[in-house]
Amino acid sequence: MQFINAGRRLLISAILLSLAACATQTKIGDTTQPLMPEGSGLVAATVYFATPHPAPTTLHFNFHLRYGPTDGQGEEWLLNRSDNRYFWSKDPRALPDEDYAKLLLAVVKPGKYRLTQGDVTPMASNRSFLLKEKNITNPREFEVVAGQVTYIGSIQMSYGVMFDARANKYGGEFVPSYINMSVKNDFDRDVRELKSLDPRLGSVVIKNALAK
């Protein structure tokens, strides 16, 4: 994990991408919009934060996970973009953080993709932390096919907490001491919940990018 201070190009770029769509993030199951635009596919994932060890406080985060094409097709996109559909899962996997996992569906152009950048920002802070490659476990390239859904995993952000007395002029704040990202295969559980939220998903192909 690396603190972003000077040269905030990556963060600014992520913010611009997230503001590219004017639409408000809607819930999965909203049938007022098509399941997926013609010529596009969907990427499904779950993201949650958890503290594996006792901590003096619980942090809550905003995050950006950017994916880029590896085959010259498609275009860069953000998993938590403002126009992606979401649902707060009631699955207890995120405990003891007391936040629920966030199911996400992103409309993506066909192509092969991989994670190119990740950063998180505690909601009570204006400092962003960049996820370094060594802190990311099990990233995989995956393919998006028009008319299909690609499941890319249950993304867990594990973090520790420390108090930084120099964080601000008001006497400091609690900040992450580390953030590690791992990708788990919760295909059956996540797809079952997705289909219960939007029955239209029962009639399309859903591929598991983490299948061996």
Tens of pLDDT, residues 62-106: 888 999 999 888 889 999 888 888 888 766 665 544 556 788 999
Answer yes or no: is pLDDT of 49 > 80: yes
CA–CA separation, 79 vs 67, rounded Å? 8
| Greatest CA separation for the chain | 56
CA–CA separation, 105 vs 198, rounded Å? 11
91: its two tokens? 């699955």
170: its two tokens? 């008001």
Question: 156: closest CA among 85, 97, 88?
Answer: 97
- Contact between 145 and 41 under an 8 Å Cβ cutoff? The reply is yes
Tens of pLDDT, residues 155-187: 988 888 888 887 666 778 888 888 889 899 999
Q: What is the pTM of this model?
A: 0.82
